C-alpha cells in the first residue's frame, strides 16, 4: 500500500456504494482540527481552532501539501470549544451531507462536460484530546482507550495515584511463554484474549442507549449516512504518540524532572504488585536510596549519552540541530519538538544508547524504535503486517518486564493499535499531524492585528486563494503551497563540508569506474574491446593504447548502443 486508495477503507466505499465508487471524480476527504495560539507569545490563554479538509484524490506527493488544504471553519477563541465543538461543526456537516447526495452541474474542464460531484469523509486526524472531543469517547480514566473500550487493560497505582495501562500479554498467541511467566509481570499468568474493536454500528447503538461509561456524547459525524459503516472513523495520530513515548523514554533514562516515570512512588507500586521487590526504596537517616533498576543510568552513562547526542551531525533539513537540545551540565535533553522526537526514535536513540544501559532494556527500546521506523514507511508491505503486529506486542511485554508500571500511560498503550490502522487505512504519513501543524504555523503568520486574530487569518487566506487562482493563468510563476523542483534536488552537505564543482573529465572518470565495477556491464566491456581491436588492427599488441582508447570512448559507445536497442 502506498496510498489510501489501496486500503480496505477506500474499497469499502466502492463496494457498498458502487454508484459512488464508479465515478473516479468523486472526492475522498479527511478532516483535521486542533487548537493553536495565534499570538507570538507561548502562553496558552488563547486557543483558535481551524478545521481543515484535505483531498485524497491526488498523487501521494501532493495529498498533504499546503496548496490542497481547505480551511473550512475557524473556531474563534479565547477558549477551546471542548465537547461543544459539534455546535461549530454543524454547518460543515450540512455541506458534507449535500456533497454525499451530489452537487449537479459541476463542470469538468479537462473533459469539457458537466457531472454530479459527490464527496465522502473517510476519517478525522487529531491529537488524542481532540480525538475525544470529535468522537465523543472518553480519553481519560480506566476506559481511556477508544479501541479497547470496556476491556481497556487499566490499573490504578496506589502510591503514584495514576492509572497505568499494562497487561499486553493478552495480545500474544495463546501458547506464548510470556503468558505463563508470573514474577516478571504482575505475579499472575495471563489467559485473556484481546478485545475486539467495536464497529461503528455498535458504537452508535451504545451512545443512543445512553452508555456513559466509555462515551460522553453522540458525535455529530454519525449524522452522515455512511459514517457508521467505516472501519476507522477517527485515526490515531502517530506524531503525538511517538512524541509522548519518546519523552517518556528520554525522561526516564536521563531522570528529567517532570518527565521521569521513576521515583519512590513507582518503587512502592512495584512492591504492592509483588514484582521486582529487590528495587524497593531503602530508607536512611538523611535520604532515601533507590536501588538501580534496569532503566537507570549512572552519571557517567548519562554524560556519555548526552555527549553522543551533542556530537551528532545530520544533513541540513533533516532535523533541528541536536547539539542545541543537549545540556551537558545537567545531562538532559531540553526543548524537544515533535519532529526532534521523530528523528530520535527513527534513527538517533538506538545509536546513543548502544554502549550503555543493561542489554534487555536496551534491546526493548531498540525494538520499539525499529517498530516506529517500519510503521512510518511510505510504502507498506501488507504481507509483513501480521509479523509487525506480533513484534510490537512482544516489545511492549519486554518493556513491562524491565520498566516500572508508571511508564505505561495511555500513549504507550495506543502503540499496540497502530498496525491495525495501517492495515485498514494505508500508510501513516497520510494520517498524522505534521502537515497540519506546519499549516497552523502559516496561519499564525497571517496575524497582524492581535485584537482580531481570526479576522486576519480569514482575510489573508481568502486573498491567498484569489492570488493562487490568478497564477494558474500566468506562466513562469511559482505555485504557493507546492515545493519547488529546486528543493527536491541535492541538499547542502554537513556544516563542516564544502561544495566543489567537478569538471567533465573527472566526472567521466567516476562514471567509467562505476560502469567497470557493475556486473551487468562486463559483457559490454568485452564487446567494446573486441570492437577496438577490429577497428584498429595496427594497435592490437599495444595494450596501453587499447586501454586508453577504451577509457575515452566506452561511455559514448555504450550510450549509442542503448539508444539503438531502444
Residue 424 maps to a domain: no
Assess contact for 434 and 411: CB atoms under 8 A. no
* The pLDDT of residue 118: 95
How many alpha carbons fall within 13 Å on the CB side of residue 184? 16
Same domain, 356 and 223: no
Mean pLDDT, residues 300-319 taken together: 89
Residue 244 maps to a domain: yes
Residue 213 maps to a domain: no
Same domain, 545 and 406: no
Reported as a single tens digit per residue, the pLDDT across 358-387 is 889 999 999 999 999 999 999 999 999 999
Mean pLDDT, residues 330-339 taken together: 90
Question: What DSSP element (H or E) covers 75?
Answer: strand 69-75
**530 grid coordinates:** 573486441
The average confidence (pLDDT) of the chain is 89
Same domain, 343 and 452: no
Domain count for the chain: 3
Same domain, 329 and 449: no
* The pLDDT of residue 488: 45
Q: Give the pLDDT band of residue 495 (cuts 50, 70, 90).
A: low
Residue 193 maps to a domain: no
CA-to-CA distance for 283 and 279, rounded, in angstroms?
A: 12
* The pLDDT of residue 43: 65
Residue 187 maps to a domain: no
Residue 441 maps to a domain: yes
* The pLDDT of residue 486: 42
* 119 pLDDT more than 60: yes
Same domain, 447 and 523: no
User: What DSSP state is assigned to residue 319?
Assistant: S
Nearest to 550 by CA among 566, 530, 521: 530
Kind of pairing between the strands at 119-125 and 27-33? parallel
Same domain, 441 and 401: no
Nearest to 463 by CA among 445, 446, 451: 446
Same domain, 229 and 245: no
* The pLDDT of residue 487: 44
CA-to-CA distance for 389 and 382, rounded, in angstroms?
A: 11
Assess contact for 165 and 188: CB atoms under 8 A. no
Same domain, 243 and 390: yes
* The pLDDT of residue 493: 54
Residue 113: helix, strand or coil by DSSP? Answer: strand
Mean pLDDT, residues 449-460 taken together: 90
Same domain, 370 and 244: yes
Q: Give the pLDDT band of residue 122 (cuts 50, 70, 90).
A: very high
CA-to-CA distance for 439 and 74, rounded, in angstroms?
A: 13
Mean pLDDT, residues 406-413 taken together: 93
* 472 pLDDT more than 80: no
Same domain, 511 and 461: no
* 313 pLDDT more than 70: yes
Same domain, 293 and 406: yes
* The pLDDT of residue 566: 64
Residue 186 maps to a domain: no
* The pLDDT of residue 303: 93
Domain range holding 534?
505-565
Most confidently modeled range among 199-203, 470-474, 482-486: 199-203
Same domain, 468 and 554: no
Residue 258 maps to a domain: yes
- Taking phi over 0 as left and psi of -120 to 50 as alpha, with beta for the rest, 276 belongs to left
Q: Please state, in angstroms and as integers, the Cα–Cα distance from residue 250 to each residue in 62, 159, 376, 407, following that order.
A: 34, 23, 21, 11
Mean pLDDT, residues 193-217 taken together: 88
CA-to-CA distance for 338 and 344, rounded, in angstroms?
A: 10
Percent of the chain with pLDDT over 70: 96
Q: Give the pLDDT band of residue 40 (cuts 50, 70, 90).
A: confident
Question: Which has more confidence, 376 or 472?
Answer: 376
Amino acid at each position: 500500500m502506498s496510498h489510501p486508495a489501496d486500503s480496505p477503507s477506500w474499497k469499502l466505499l466502492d463496494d457498498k456504494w458502487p454508484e459512488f465508487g464508479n465515478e473516479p471524480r468523486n472526492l475522498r476527504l479527511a478532516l483535521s482540527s486542533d487548537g493553536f495560539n495565534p499570538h507570538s507569545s507561548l502562553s496558552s490563554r488563547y486557543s483558535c481552532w481551524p478545521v481543515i479538509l484535505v483531498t485524497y484524490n491526488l498523487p501521494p506527493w501532493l495529498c498533504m501539501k499546503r496548496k490542497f488544504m481547505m480551511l473550512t471553519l475557524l473556531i474563534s477563541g479565547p477558549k477551546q470549544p471542548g465537547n461543544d465543538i459539534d455546535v461549530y461543526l454543524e454547518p460543515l456537516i450540512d455541506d458534507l451531507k449535500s456533497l454525499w447526495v451530489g452537487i449537479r452541474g459541476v463542470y469538468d474542464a479537462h473533459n469539457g462536460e458537466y457531472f454530479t460531484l459527490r464527496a465522502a469523509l473517510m476519517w478525522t486526524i487529531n491529537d488524542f484530546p481532540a480525538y475525544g472531543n470529535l468522537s465523543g469517547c472518553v480519553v481519560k480514566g480506566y476506559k481511556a482507550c477508544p479501541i479497547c473500550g470496556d476491556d481497556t487493560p487499566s490499573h490504578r497505582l496506589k502510591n503514584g495515584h495514576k492509572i497505568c495501562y499494562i497487561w499486553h500479554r493478552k495480545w500474544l498467541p495463546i501458547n506464548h511463554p510470556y503468558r505463563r511467566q508470573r514474577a516478571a509481570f504482575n505475579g499472575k499468568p495471563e489467559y485473556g484474549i484481546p478485545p475486539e474493536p467495536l464497529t461503528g454500528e455498535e458504537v452508535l447503538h451504545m451512545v443512543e442507549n445512553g452508555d456513559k461509561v466509555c462515551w460522553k456524547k453522540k458525535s455529530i459525524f454519525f449524522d452522515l449516512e455512511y459514517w457508521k459503516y467505516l472501519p476507522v472513523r477517527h485515526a490515531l495520530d502517530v506524531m503525538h504518540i511517538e512524541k509522548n513515548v519518546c519523552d517518556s523514554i528520554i525522561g526516564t533514562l536521563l531522570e528529567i524532572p517532570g518527565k521521569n516515570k521513576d521515583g519512590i512512588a513507582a518503587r512502592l507500586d512495584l512492591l504492592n504488585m509483588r514484582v521486582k521487590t529487590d528495587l524497593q526504596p531503602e530508607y536512611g537517616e538523611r535520604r532515601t536510596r533507590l536501588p538501580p533498576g534496569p532503566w537507570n543510568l549512572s552519571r557517567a552513562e548519562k554524560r556519555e549519552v548526552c555527549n553522543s547526542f551533542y556530537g551528532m551531525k545530520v544533513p541540513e533539513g533533516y532535523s533541528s540541530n541536536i547539539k542545541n537540545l543537549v545540556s551537558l551540565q545537567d545531562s538532559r535533553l531540553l526543548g524537544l519538538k515533535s519532529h526532534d522526537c521523530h528523528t530520535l526514535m527513527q534513527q538517533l536513540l538506538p545509536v546513543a544508547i548502544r554502549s550503555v544501559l543493561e542489554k534487555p532494556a536496551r534491546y526493548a527500546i531498540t525494538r520499539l524504535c525499529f517498530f516506529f521506523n517500519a510503521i512510518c514507511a511510505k510504502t507498506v508491505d501488507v504481507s509483513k503486517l501480521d509479523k509487525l503486529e506480533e513484534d510490537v506486542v512482544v516489545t511492549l511485554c519486554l518493556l513491562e518486564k524491565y520498566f516500572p508500571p508508571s511508564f505505561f500511560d495511555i500513549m504507550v498503550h495506543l502503540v499496540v493499535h497502530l498496525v491495525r490502522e495501517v492495515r485498514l487505512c494505508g500508510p501513516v504519513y497520510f494520517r498524522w499531524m505534521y502537515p497540519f501543524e506546519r499549516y497552523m504555523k502559516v496561519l499564525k503568520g497571517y496575524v497582524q492585528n492581535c485584537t482580531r486574530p481570526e479576522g486576519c487569518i480569514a482575510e489573508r487566506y481568502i486573498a491567498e486563494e484569489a492570488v493562487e487562482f490568478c497564477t494558474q493563468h500566468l506562466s513562469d510563476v511559482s505555485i504557493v503551497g507546492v515545493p519547488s523542483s529546486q528543493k527536491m534536488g541535492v541538499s547542502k552537505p554537513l556544516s563542516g563540508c564544502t561544495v566543489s564543482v567537478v569538471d567533465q573529465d573527472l566526472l567521466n572518470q567516476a562514471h567509467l569506474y562505476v560502469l567497470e565495477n557493475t556486473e551487468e556491464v562486463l559483457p559490454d566491456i568485452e564487446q567494446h574491446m573486441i570492437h577496438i581491436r577490429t577497428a584498429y588492427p595496427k594497435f592490437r599488441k599495444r595494450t596501453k593504447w587499447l586501454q586508453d582508447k577504451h577509457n575515452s570512448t566506452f561511455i559514448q559507445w555504450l550510450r549509442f548502443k542503448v539508444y539503438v536497442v531502444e
